Structure 1
C-alpha cells in the first residue's frame, strides 16, 4: 500500500494555481497528509551590478519575501478540509529549491502545475516542472492549467 504523509505543492502565485487547488485538497484529504505549500522568490542580490546600494537590495529581498509569504498564507487559508499546512518561502532557482525542500522534508508526493510553454519559449526558459520531474526523490503529479 502507498503511504503518503507529506505532500509538497510548489506554486508561482499566478492565477493558474486556482485550477490546481481541487487536486491538492483531494489528495491531501485522501491521505490525511501534511501539505507543504512553497513558493520561490528570485534572489535579487544578484543585481548588485546595477550599483544599487547593498542595504536597498536587502530591503528589496525582504519585501519580495514578505509579499510572497502574504500571498501563500492567503492561499493556505482557502484550502478547506486540509488540517496540517506548512508554508515555505524560498529564495533562488525554483527547480533547485523545490527539489532541495522535497529532500529535506522527506516529501512523499509533489503536486505541481505546468506552465504549458512549448517551442522556443520552453527552450529559452526551460520548464521548472520538467526539471523537478527528472530530479525529484518522489513521484511528481503534474497538472496542466485549465483555462
Structure 2
C-alpha cells in the first residue's frame, strides 16, 4: 500500500507588490485563487531606503516617513479590490531590502503561498537590477507562484479584450503562472 500524499492547505496568501502592471496581474491572480480556496490575503509593499541622501534638504530618516502615507494609500486602494470580492485582506508596509523583508514577512505572517509578479527581465537588465522574485523563490519558507508580466504590445487582442479580462479566474491565467 502506497503512503498517502500529504496535502497542504492554503489559507494565507501573501502578495508582495511594487505597484507595477506585473504586480497588479499577480494580485488579480491571487484574488481568484483566494476566492477559490477561501484564503486570506496579505498585500505587502517594501519601501527600499535610499543608500545616499539624494534629495537636498531631506534628512535620510525622513525619506521613509514621507513615502509611508502615500504608499499606504496605494495599498489601501488596491486592497479594496479584494474586499469587493469579500476576501479578508490585510496590508503590510515595511522598509528594507525587498527580498529580505518579503521572506521575513512570509515567516512572520505564516504565509502558505506567495504570489508575486515578475518582470521577466533578461540579459543586462537582469544582471544590473537582479530579480527580487528570483531571490524570493530561492529563499522562501513556502511555495512561490510567479506571474510573469506580458508587455501590452505582445498580448493578444485589443484594449477591449484586455478590459474584459479584468475579472478573470485563476484557471484562465495558468499559462502565465509558475508554481515553484
**8 Å Cα contact 2:42-2:92 kept in structure 1:** yes
Give 1:72's aligned residue.
75
SS at match of 1:16: helix
Between structure 1 and structure 2, the one with the greater Rg is 2
SS at match of 1:47: coil
**TM-score, normalised with respect to structure 1:** 0.88
- Please say which of residues 25-34 and 102-111 is displaced more in the overlay: 25-34
Q: Which of 48, 52, 55 lines up with 1:47 in the alignment?
A: 52
**8 Å Cα contact 1:28-1:82 kept in structure 2:** no
- Tell me whether 1:10 sits opposite 2:5 in the alignment: no
CA pair 31-60 structure 1, distance change in 2 beyond 3 A? same
Matches within 5 A, 1:15-34: 15-34=21-40
**8 Å Cα contact 2:21-2:149 kept in structure 1:** no
Moved over 4 A (4+): 50-53
**TM-score, normalised with respect to structure 2:** 0.73
CA distance in 1, matches of 2:55, 2:26: 40
Structure 1 residue runs without a partner (length 5+): none
CA distance in 2, matches of 1:51, 1:111: 34
CA distance in 1, matches of 2:21, 2:149: 9
SS at match of 1:78: helix
- Please say which of residues 59-68 and 27-36 is displaced more in the overlay: 59-68
Q: Deviations over 1:84-119 (max 9, x none)?
A: 111011111110010010011111000000011100
CA distance in 1, matches of 2:55, 2:128: 27
CA distance in 1, matches of 2:116, 2:80: 18
SS at match of 2:90: strand
Structure 2 residue runs without a partner (length 5+): 1-6, 153-180
CA distance in 2, matches of 1:5, 1:51: 42
Q: CA deviation at 1:51?
A: 9.2
